[in-house]
Amino acid sequence: MKKLFASAFLIAIISISNAYAYCNTKSCAVRFSDIKLKENPVQIDNALEKLSQLRGVSFVWNKNNKKDIGVIAQDVEKLFPELVQNSIINSEDGKIKTLKTVNYAGLIGLLIEAVKELKKENQILSDQLRL
C-alpha cells in the first residue's frame, strides 16, 4: 500500500511540474484543471452550433474488429485544433505512421456550454407558452 501511494504521489508531483504534457502523453481520466494552471479562460460561445458540426460515430477498429463509439479526429481538428495531436507510431509492418489523437476530456467544456444554451432556449420557449 505504501508503495502504491508513493508511486501515485510521485506521478502527481511529476504531473504538476508539467501538467499539460502529462495529460497529452498518457490516457487520463483525471486532468489537472486548477485555475492556477490557466491563462485567459474564455467561455465557449455558440457551443451548440459548434457541437452540431461534430459527428458522433459508431465504428469498428481495423486492428481487432471491436465496436466502439467516438468522434473522428479530423472533424474535431477543424473546429478545435487544440484538442487534436499528431502521434508518431511504429506500425506492425515496421513503418512509421502519424495518427491523430483526440483529447476527449477537452470536449466536456463544449458539452456543458451546449447544455446551458439548450436550457436557455427551452426556458424561452416555455415562457412563450406560459408553461
pLDDT in tens, 50-105: 999 999 999 999 989 999 999 999 999 999 999 999 999 888 888 899 999 999 99
| CATH code 1.10.10.10 region(s) in the chain | 42-131
Closest to 78 in 3D by CA, of 108, 48, 111, 100 = 100
For 84-93, the pLDDT digits (tens) are 999 998 888 8
Q: Under CATH, which architecture does the 42-131 domain have?
A: Orthogonal Bundle (1.10)
Cell numbers standing for residue 105: 476530456
Distances (CA, A) of 14 to 6, 7, 18, 22, 76: 12, 11, 7, 8, 29
